[in-house]
């Protein structure tokens, strides 16, 4: 057989081998992420930065720019290049804008390199009770998290920003600490990751008058491997509930710094 034919066959074998290493749930030109992060909670995690009157202004700050090394697991469980709004096909029925996820990922990427995977799971207007084990939101989060590691990679942390809906009733606010700790314990068990790091955000705002009770629960959580980033003082939109675009950017960088500390 001619040398040129042998070379062609060898190249074809190498190409076929490369194709086989691409998993079925990866985008056609997307590599598998090595470090994976779950993003969960309610609207300030899903992102409302730049949203007004039901429309997103399309402004993407440089800190949130897409990068081929930052991926997201979309609603169809396919890895694709991440871009704002991260939760557009997850927090459906609402208008999503800039959240903390992209600035977080860009900051981690700048310091650590590699390929990062974001798993958006947040849903606006949800209480922590709606995230309890067995609920639709919890089950979906576990399913998405489990799918995210099928092609390899490791879940490095859960980023959790939730609690605004639990500030309306005193009973909900007072039960927040126990509910959050049950959620973390259940998730670690179901993902078979007993030391899964969790970084939660202490509220900057709330829907009711019991914000301080929920904040106290968040700031005083004593579970191992749970850290807290305080969002208090970050500028809010005119609704006094949602973070502005630049507040989301700064929050994402804060989350990244705590993760890498």
SS3 116: strand
User: Is 135 one of the annotated active-site residues of the chain?
Assistant: no
Cβ distance 125 to 43 under 8 Å?
yes
What is the per-residue pLDDT for 29? Answer: 59
* Marked catalytic residue, from 32, 35, 43, 247: 43
User: Is 25 one of the annotated active-site residues of the chain?
Assistant: no
DSSP state of 90: T
* Marked catalytic residue, from 57, 89, 212, 239: 239
Other Cβ atoms within 10 Å of 62 Cβ, number: 8
User: Is 35 one of the annotated active-site residues of the chain?
Assistant: no
pLDDT digits (tens, 9 = 90+) for 32-79: 899 999 999 999 999 999 999 999 999 999 999 999 999 999 999 999
* Marked catalytic residue, from 35, 103, 165, 242: 242
What is the per-residue pLDDT for 13? Answer: 29
For the cut 50, the answer to whether the pLDDT of residue 203 exceeds it is: yes
pTM of the model as a whole: 0.89
Q: Tell me how far apart the alpha carbons of residues 144 and 36 are, in angstroms, rounded to a whole number.
A: 11
Q: Which residue has the tokens 């209480």?
A: 127
């Amino acid at each position: 057989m001619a040398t040129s034919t042998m070379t062609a066959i060898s190249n074809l074998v190498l190409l076929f081998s490369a194709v086989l290493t691409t998993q079925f749930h990866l985008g056609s030109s997307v590599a598998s992420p090595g470090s994976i992060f779950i993003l969960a909670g309610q609207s300030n995690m899903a992102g409302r930065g730049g949203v007004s009157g039901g429309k997103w202004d399309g402004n993407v700050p440089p800190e949130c720019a897409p990068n081929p090394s930052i991926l997201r697991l979309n609603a169809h469980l396919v890895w694709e290049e991440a871009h704002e709004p991260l939760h557009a096909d997850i927090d459906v029925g609402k208008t999503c804008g800039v959240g903390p996820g992209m600035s977080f990922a860009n900051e981690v990427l700048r310091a650590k390199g590699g390929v990062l995977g974001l798993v958006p799971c947040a849903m606006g207007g949800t209480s922590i009770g709606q995230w309890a084990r067995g609920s639709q939101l919890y089950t979906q989060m576990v399913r998405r998290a489990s799918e995210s590691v099928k092609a390899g990679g490791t879940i490095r942390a859960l980023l959790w920003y939730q609690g605004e809906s639990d500030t309306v009733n005193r009973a909900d606010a007072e039960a927040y600490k126990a509910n959050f700790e049950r959620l973390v314990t259940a998730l670690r068990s179901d993902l078979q990751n007993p030391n899964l790091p969790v970084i939660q955000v202490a509220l900057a705002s709330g829907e009711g008058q019991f914000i301080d009770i929920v904040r106290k629960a968040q700031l005083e959580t004593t579970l191992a491997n749970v850290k807290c980033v305080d969002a208090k003082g970050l500028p809010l939109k005119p609704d006094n509930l949602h973070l502005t675009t630049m507040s989301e950017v700064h929050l994402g960088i804060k989350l990244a710094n705590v993760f890498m500390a």
